[in-house]
Amino acid sequence: MVYRTQWSYETLSGIAEWFTGDSENWKQLAQANPKLNPKRIPANAPVLIPTKLVKKKTPPTKAFADKHRVHYFVHQVRWRGETLSLIAKWYTGHYGNWKALAQANPGLSPNRIVLGNRIHIPPEMLITQKTLPRKVVARTLPGYFAHTVSKTDENLSDIAKWYTGSASNKKAIGAANPDIDPDFLLVGNEIYIPSNLLVTDKPLNQQSVQKTAKVTDKGAQPETAPSAPKPKKIQLFGPKQFQAN
């Protein structure tokens, strides 16, 4: 008997349990199908099941297949410019693994990734579960801008103030650069400035920023309470007082 898989997440153990009544028969199915990966079978793949093992001929239901699926890692597309090859590179270490991801996601168009798409990644291919950063995607797009730290006394507030016009954007820039400690910049750090925040691409003039900050701080100092009036010297009327010699 030949069964054609319906979903990319079916496994030989699940197929064995459905058709033969015993998941352990996956070993015999593996021998009968030496080219198949027991844990990752692409959709529409023919699976030969020895007749002597068959106890059921109807195809498995989706509910059954879901219970026996490999628990894939799921990446949700969040940034403009994401591609299947870039996603493959980040999570598996190789651009070429986009083909394997395409097989694992048969309903997805590899050449047309859109925001919100959910990409299932086989667990045996994963090298990281950290979410694909916007910074990595932005590097592949025109208009990418980043500031490289060149001095030990640089800080994210000054960088935000210079390139975005407001030091309060420090948090947004920190979030866009998860690979960097926002409170401890190192010489050589590449600070990505999101295009929606960027107001100038001129190199940072740290002295100018710090000078402006000092002026602002000075102007922002709270008014000091007026000093209490000095008590007036009491003058006594009557006989004239003489100082002792």
Q: Is 237 inside any structural domain?
A: no
Of the three residues 12, 45, 67, the one that is the final residue of a domain is 67
Q: How far separated are the first and last CA of the chain, in Å rounded? A: 131
144, pLDDT greater than 90: yes
Contact 72, 8 (CB under 8 A): no
Q: Give me the chain's average pLDDT, please.
A: 85
Please report the pLDDT score of residue 208 as a whole number: 64
Contact 153, 186 (CB under 8 A): no
In the structure, what pLDDT confidence band is assigned to residue 219 with cuts at 50, 70 and 90?
A: low
Q: Bridge-partner residues for 190, per DSSP? A: 148
Q: Is 243 inside any structural domain?
A: no
Contact 40, 99 (CB under 8 A): no
Residue 3: closest CA among 67, 59, 69: 59
Q: Is 37 inside any structural domain?
A: yes
C-alpha to C-alpha distance for 83 and 102, rounded to whole angstroms:
11
Regarding whether 81 and 45 lie in a shared domain, the answer is no
Regarding whether 158 and 119 lie in a shared domain, the answer is no
Regarding whether 193 and 155 lie in a shared domain, the answer is yes
More confident call, 117 vs 205: 117
More confident call, 172 vs 42: 172
Report residue 241 as tokens: 């007082």
Please report the pLDDT score of residue 155 as a whole number: 95
Q: Is 211 inside any structural domain?
A: yes
Q: Is 221 inside any structural domain?
A: no
> What domain range is 43 assigned to?
2-67
- CATH code (residue 212): 3.10.350
223, pLDDT greater than 90: no
Of the three residues 130, 148, 167, the one that is the final residue of a domain is 130
- CATH code (residue 95): 3.10.350.10
Q: Is 238 inside any structural domain?
A: no
How many percent of the chain have pLDDT more than 70?
A: 84
Regarding whether 208 and 164 lie in a shared domain, the answer is yes
Q: Say which residues have a Cβ less than 8 Å from residue 231's Cβ, sequence separation at least 6.
A: none
Contact 162, 204 (CB under 8 A): yes
Number of domains, the chain: 3
Regarding whether 50 and 10 lie in a shared domain, the answer is yes
Contact 197, 164 (CB under 8 A): yes
Q: Is 242 inside any structural domain?
A: no
Regarding whether 87 and 122 lie in a shared domain, the answer is yes
123, pLDDT greater than 60: yes
Regarding whether 50 and 83 lie in a shared domain, the answer is no
Regarding whether 196 and 146 lie in a shared domain, the answer is yes
Q: Is 56 inside any structural domain?
A: yes
In this prediction, residues 110-131 reach a mean pLDDT of 91
Regarding whether 107 and 156 lie in a shared domain, the answer is no
Measuring CA to CA, how many Å separate 125 from each of 62, 89, 103, 184?
A: 24, 11, 13, 33
Of the three residues 37, 67, 97, the one that is the final residue of a domain is 67
